[in-house]
């Protein structure tokens, strides 16, 4: 069995391509390589160069493989579908150009859901028609990735969006064909949502095609849930701690992967506020060393 450990630009605080606080894309590539990783995600489309020669040369320079890319857009908002579809297509083109495999779909933060991140019993729910349209937009993006670009597409639950809590994720999995939609499973977001990531993995490991490794500080989690803290403010407070320092049982995660014969990439994501954390390379070196200490190589 081969499991490879990669990283992603969000571990350097890169959430949106046009954020002036972002480090440069070359800084992210260099520091990812210096921290000991051999693979990296694309980040939000437009952050890395869309010219395949320019990005390809840089990936070679830093001895990095492109793993995949995330479409973090408001799938819940029909008025934003055109921009979401465009981001999907641009991401697919970039991934295919570099031989990357994984397209990840994430419903971005909604004002209606932000106050109840981590509070499933209080979260507003879509009505039947709204859900159907939401589901169909996700399925359309999945078909673009699989049928037009030959990618493996995974749905990723995310705090403060409409695909956040375990029942919503399982409902989507029941209603969308497994041939076009797998799971990109994020250990930290599942814990943030109030559910057991290891139990979910055991139940759905056959559909998990890709992993995001994220840990959660339980003290910060309890505080931000109680105070209804916004997602990005929670990031600034350090809710996503270094791996092995939070409430995710990574040895158990590894055991589930081993027992299932999982092969492929597991990508570290320690979302940070780029204005508050000045040591992402050191943190991510520590993350890699922690994973190696529990048997990931």
Write the CATH number for 197. 3.20.20.150
Q: What is the pLDDT at residue 87? A: 98
Contact (CB, 8 A) for 256 and 199: no
> Mean pLDDT throughout 35-57?
98
Q: What's the pLDDT tens digit per position in 140-153?
A: 999 999 999 999 99
Please state the domain count of the chain: 1
DSSP 23: P
Coil vs helix vs strand at 240 = coil
Q: Sorting pLDDT into bands at 50, 70 and 90, what band is 297?
A: confident
Task: Decide if pLDDT at 229 tops 90.
Answer: no
Task: Decide if pLDDT at 39 tops 90.
Answer: yes
Q: What is the pLDDT at residue 271? A: 86
Q: Sorting pLDDT into bands at 50, 70 and 90, what band is 277?
A: low
pTM of the model: 0.97
What's the Cα-to-Cα distance from 7 to each of 33, 34, 88, 219, 241, rounded to whole Å?
A: 10, 12, 21, 25, 15
Mean pLDDT of the chain: 95
Nearest to 37 by CA among 297, 240, 258: 297
Which token pair is 285?
Answer: 């070196």
Which token pair is 109?
Answer: 């933060």
Q: What is the pLDDT at residue 273? A: 76
Task: Decide if pLDDT at 165 tops 90.
Answer: yes
Answer with the residue of higher pLDDT: 276 or 288: 288
Sign of CA dihedral 218, 219, 223, 229: negative
Instruction: Point out the least confidently predicted range of 195-199, 209-213, 235-239.
Output: 235-239
Pick left, alpha or beta for residue 228 (phi over 0 → left; psi -120 to 50 → alpha; otherwise beta): left
DSSP 24: P
Which token pair is 75?
Answer: 């799938």
Nearest to 272 by CA among 243, 236, 221, 225: 236
> Mean pLDDT throughout 258-274?
92
Answer with the residue of higher pLDDT: 188 or 115: 188
> Mean pLDDT throughout 217-232?
90
Contact (CB, 8 A) for 3 and 259: no
Which token pair is 168?
Answer: 């919503």
> Mean pLDDT throughout 224-229?
88
Q: Which domain holds residue 121?
A: 3-293
State percent of the chain over pLDDT 90: 90
Total length of the chain: 297
> Mean pLDDT throughout 44-65?
98
Q: Sorting pLDDT into bands at 50, 70 and 90, what band is 223?
A: very high
């Amino acid at each position: 069995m081969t499991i490879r450990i990669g990283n992603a630009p969000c571990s350097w605080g890169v959430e949106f391509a046009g954020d002036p606080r972002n480090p440069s894309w070359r800084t992210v590539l260099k520091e990812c390589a210096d921290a000991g990783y051999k693979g990296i995600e694309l980040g939000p489309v437009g952050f890395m160069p869309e010219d395949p020669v320019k990005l390809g040369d840089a990936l070679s320079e830093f001895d990095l493989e492109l793993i995949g890319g995330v479409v973090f857009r408001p799938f819940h908002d029909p008025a934003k579908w055109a921009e979401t579809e465009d981001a999907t297509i641009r991401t697919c083109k970039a991934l295919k150009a570099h031989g990357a495999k994984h397209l990840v779909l994430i419903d971005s933060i909604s004002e209606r859901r932000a106050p109840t991140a981590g509070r499933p019993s209080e979260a507003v729910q879509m009505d039947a028609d709204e859900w159907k349209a939401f589901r169909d937009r996700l399925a359309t993006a999945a078909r673009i990735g699989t049928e037009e670009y030959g990618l493996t597409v995974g749905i990723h639950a995310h705090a403060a969006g409409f695909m956040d809590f375990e029942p919503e994720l399982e409902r989507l999995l029941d209603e969308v064909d497994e041939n076009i939609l797998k799971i990109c499973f994020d250990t930290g977001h599942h814990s943030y949502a109030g559910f057991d990531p290891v139990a979910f993995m055991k139940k759905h490991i056959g559909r998990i095609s890709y992993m995001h490794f994220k840990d959660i500080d339980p003290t910060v989690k309890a505080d931000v849930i109680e105070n209804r803290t916004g997602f990005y403010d929670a990031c600034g407070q350090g809710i996503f701690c270094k791996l092995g320092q939070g409430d995710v049982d990574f040895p158990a995660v590894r055991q589930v992967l081993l027992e299932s014969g999982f092969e492929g990439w597991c990508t570290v994501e320690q979302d940070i506020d780029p204005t508050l954390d000045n040591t992402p390379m050191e943190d991510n070196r520590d993350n890699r060393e922690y994973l190696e200490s529990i048997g990931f190589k």
